[in-house]
Chains A and B, each alone.
Chain A
Amino acid sequence: MEKNQMNPELLTKAKQLAARDYTVIITEDTLSDGGKIYVVEHPELPGCMAQGTTIAAAQEELAEATVDYIYYLLEDGLDVPDPLNSRTVTGGNNVPVESSAVGMNVHVTIHGATFQMDVDADTDEDDALGLKYSVLPTSST
């Protein structure tokens, strides 16, 4: 694997795009030694995620991973997905969630408001790996 020299101009653009208000999904997971770990992701950017032993650490890592993810979208000449329209989500429509979140405690943060949902494999199942769930607000920050 070669060390890539990143293009400063593209990196600046990636940072600007990554600073937009993307949806954040926080999932708590347990490691094999029983330790807790948090995974945070942006559903608008499939596969863009980070982990940390605290939510804050995971979010810090995600900020960095998002820049890198967007940088390579730009380098490959691909469109960078926009953040979800908050009205779409808070209106009770579906948010895509990976099936790996089934049974986990999932929080979604959209424009500063936090939602919690119980991920149930029987709910609105689209297919084995692309489940969708309704999100109901439980608290605001």
Chain B
Amino acid sequence: MPRKVEKLLDRARQTKAGWKSAELLTLYSGFGFTIREGSGSHKVISHPQFTHLRATVPDHPSNELSKKYIAVAVKNIEEAIRLEEANGEESDES
């Protein structure tokens, strides 16, 4: 995992204020999430393997995001990491 993305995740865990959409999209994509264009002013985030991990993110690069978006991103990414690790352990055992 690139160190830059890990640092970004650490920042998200510690500080949920002051984030812009572009930074949040970088964070999601750095952890393997897919970013797809919506019909209007949102992007739809989903994980290719763990398809229940989803979110919408406003497509307004200069606007500050509510802290809630960052909390949801941290939750989604941590869950993806946990599931990937669990899958890895299962593969090791078989």
Contact = CB atoms under 8 A, between A and B. Distances in A.
Interface of A: 1-4, 6, 11, 27, 29, 31-33, 37, 39, 41, 45-51, 61, 64-65, 67-69, 71-73, 76, 78, 98-101, 129
Contact of A78 (B37, B51, B71, B76): B51
Q: Which 4 A-B pairs have the closest CB atoms?
A: A100-B71, A68-B38, A47-B55, A65-B56
A34 to B, nearest CB: 11
Contacts of B44: 68-69, 71-72
B35 interface: yes
A93 B39 CA distance: 35
A61 B58 contact: yes
A68 B71 contact: no
A29 B66 contact: yes
A48 B56 CA distance: 5
A1 B33 CA distance: 12
Chain A interface helix/strand/loop/mixed: mixed
15 contacts: A32-B17, A45-B54, A47-B45, A47-B54, A48-B54, A49-B55, A50-B42, A61-B41, A68-B42, A69-B56, A72-B46, A76-B51, A98-B71, A99-B71, A100-B67
Interface residues of B, number: 33
B68 A98 contact: yes
A129 B40 CA distance: 29
Interface in B61-75: 64-72, 75
A31 B64 contact: yes
Contacts of A29: 66-68
Contacts of B67: 29, 100
Nearest to B29: A1
A80 B41 CA distance: 21
A27 B16 CA distance: 15
A88 to B, nearest CB: 21
A57 B39 CA distance: 17
